[in-house]
């Protein structure tokens, strides 16, 4: 669905954030895009959204190159950025103006999503708080029924009940034709929602595996005392002692602790890489 091949990109000359970077996002999946600050998550989202052009390589959605900046490319794509600017309009007017650009937009769905977020459609956008504005954008993005939905830090600014609502709405809106790419630092907010995990560091694809595969390959074990170095792939301190990641010998899918996994991948990338590749 979204095919990025041999991507090279840099904001400054001779300083490439991405060099020969390739990744494929399939339809019917909810991707979690994780990485440290400055790792290039938002840049990758903007490249997919056609807002930045690769210096070399291609970003293609359904055989249409982002460089063409064509209607066909954008009609199936919606991005909810971390920073946004909304006009001084009522939510209802906003919908009336922007909905015609999206062929599959559903007014009914939009109103339902706003109701779920407890937002009044007659309210003025400029009078809403950052979190509420984001809820409007999230509702609009989901109701647009585009095939590729890009969400950059969607849970930032949302209160706890709204985060739960968002998880519920994304899960209900996911279809085999759609692809959600969610970039976040708040990994806990998206637990049990993601189908696929992508962890990137500057120019490196540290992990690109399905949640199911990850759960089959590794398990998270609590340790009351500090484990030995060769006992785990990675461990870190927890409230109750230590928590470690070990190879999952039984291959039975267990619960994934995304935060520990992320830290583990960043710290011990080679070990995890070896484990996942050896079992392919």
Partner 1 sequence: MKSFLSQIESFRFQRVMSLILEYFHRNKKTLIISSIALYLFLFCCLLLFKRFGESGKERDIFQYLTQLSCISLISSILSVHYFSTLRLKPGSISALSLPCNPIERLLGAILVTSIAFALIYFFIYSVAFFSTFPFFRSYHLEFINFDPLGIGWISIIGPIISTPTLFLWGGLFFKRSPWIKTVLATIIYSVICIAITATIFYLIDPNWDAFKELIKPKESEYLNGKIATLSNSPVNFLWSFLLMSIIVLASYHLLKEKEVK
Chain residues binding partner 1 by CB under 8 A are 11, 46, 49-53, 67-72, 74-75, 77-79, 81, 83-89, 93, 97-98, 100-102
The enclosing H or E element of 160 equals helix 160-173
CB of 209 to partner 1, least distance (A): 29
- 101/175 with CB nearer partner 1: 101
Q: Which of 104, 59, 58 is nearest to 78 (CA)?
A: 104
The enclosing H or E element of 244 equals strand 241-247
CB of 101 to partner 1, least distance (A): 5
- 75/242 with CB nearer partner 1: 75
- What tokens appear for 229 in the block? 């170095």
> Which residues, including other chains, have CB under 8 Å from residue 21's CB and lie 6 or more apart?
4, 6, 7, 8, 57, 203, 205
The answer to whether the CB of 124 falls within 8 A of the CB of 83 is: no
- 70/274 with CB nearer partner 1: 70
- 179/197 with CB nearer partner 1: 179
CB of 100 to partner 1, least distance (A): 5
- 130/161 with CB nearer partner 1: 130
CB of 74 to partner 1, least distance (A): 4
CB of 238 to partner 1, least distance (A): 38
């Amino acid at each position: 669905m979204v095919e990025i091949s041999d991507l090279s990109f840099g904001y400054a000359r001779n300083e490439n954030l991405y060099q020969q970077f390739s990744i494929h996002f399939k339809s019917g999946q909810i991707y979690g895009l994780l990485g440290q600050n400055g790792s290039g998550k938002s840049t990758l989202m903007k490249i997919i959204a056609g807002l930045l052009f690769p210096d070399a390589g291609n970003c293609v959605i359904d055989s249409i190159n982002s460089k063409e900046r064509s209607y066909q490319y954008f009609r199936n794509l919606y991005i909810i950025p971390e920073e946004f600017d909304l006009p001084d309009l009522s939510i209802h007017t906003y919908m009336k103006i922007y909905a015609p650009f999206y062929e599959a937009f559903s007014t009914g769905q939009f109103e339902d999503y706003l109701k779920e977020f407890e937002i009044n459609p007659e309210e003025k956008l400029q009078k809403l708080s950052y979190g509420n504005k984001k809820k409007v954008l999230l509702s609009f993005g989901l109701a647009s029924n585009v095939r590729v939905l890009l969400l950059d830090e969607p849970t930032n600014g949302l209160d706890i009940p709204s985060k739960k609502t968002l998880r519920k709405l994304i899960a209900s809106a996911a279809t085999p034709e759609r692809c959600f790419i969610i970039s976040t630092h708040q990994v806990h907010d998206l637990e049990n929602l993601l189908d696929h995990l992508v962890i990137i560091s500057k120019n490196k694809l540290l992990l690109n595996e399905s949640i199911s595969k990850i759960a089959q390959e590794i398990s998270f074990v609590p340790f009351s005392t500090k484990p030995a170095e060769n006992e785990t792939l990675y461990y870190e301190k927890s409230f109750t002692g230590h928590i470690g990641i070990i190879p999952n010998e039984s291959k039975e899918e267990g619960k994934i602790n995304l935060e520990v996994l992320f830290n583990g991948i960043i710290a011990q990338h080679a070990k995890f890489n070896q484990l996942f590749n050896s079992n392919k």
